[in-house]
Amino acid sequence: MNKHAILVIALLVILILTIFSGYLITNAKNENNSVQRKEELEKSNLSAGIDTSTESDTDIDNKLVQNVYIRALATGKYDKPEVRVKANIPVVIHFSADKDSGCGKAFQLEDFNVKLFSYNGETTRAKILPKEKGIYYYHCGMWMFVGKLIVE
């Protein structure tokens, strides 16, 4: 092997190492960014009273849905007298009712044609897309349980 060949091989090795380390650094940066973005979104969602903790990473990244959890209690009230959501982002309502909540087992949100039932404490869901800002009332069949869905 002559000197020239050794030099060429050495240069090739250096070139490959440079490209590979550049690739590693870029990858690490991307991962950091996506974790940071997810944390920021979770923070902003929390301050808006929206729980995204059960959603997959994809849903959080794409801001696909706003989850709201409402439960009718045996005390004759909802656990949340009001819920705030943002307009033009789909909302999934997760409704459940205590076994002793009587007519609270029926949940209605007429402005969005939602009628849910939870007879045995189970969670039932409805997805809506609120387009107009405003206050919409959710309630049981006789308006004894009443709560506000506030679209901002």
CA atoms within 13 A on the CB side of 58: 0
Based on CB atoms, which residue is closest to Cu ion, 38 or 80?
A: 80
Sole binder of Cu ion in the list 68, 140, 149, 151 (CB under 5 A): 140
Shortest gap between Cβ of 53 and Cu ion (angstroms)? Answer: 30
Whole-angstrom Cα distance, residue 81 to residue 146?
A: 7
The answer to whether residue 12 forms part of the interface with Cu ion (CB under 5 A) is no
Based on CB atoms, which residue is closest to Cu ion, 52 or 101?
A: 101
Sole binder of Cu ion in the list 103, 108, 124, 148 (CB under 5 A): 103
The answer to whether residue 89 forms part of the interface with Cu ion (CB under 5 A) is no
Whole-angstrom Cα distance, residue 125 to residue 145?
A: 18
CA atoms within 13 A on the CB side of 137: 8
Residues that bind Cu ion (CB under 5 A): 103, 140, 142, 144
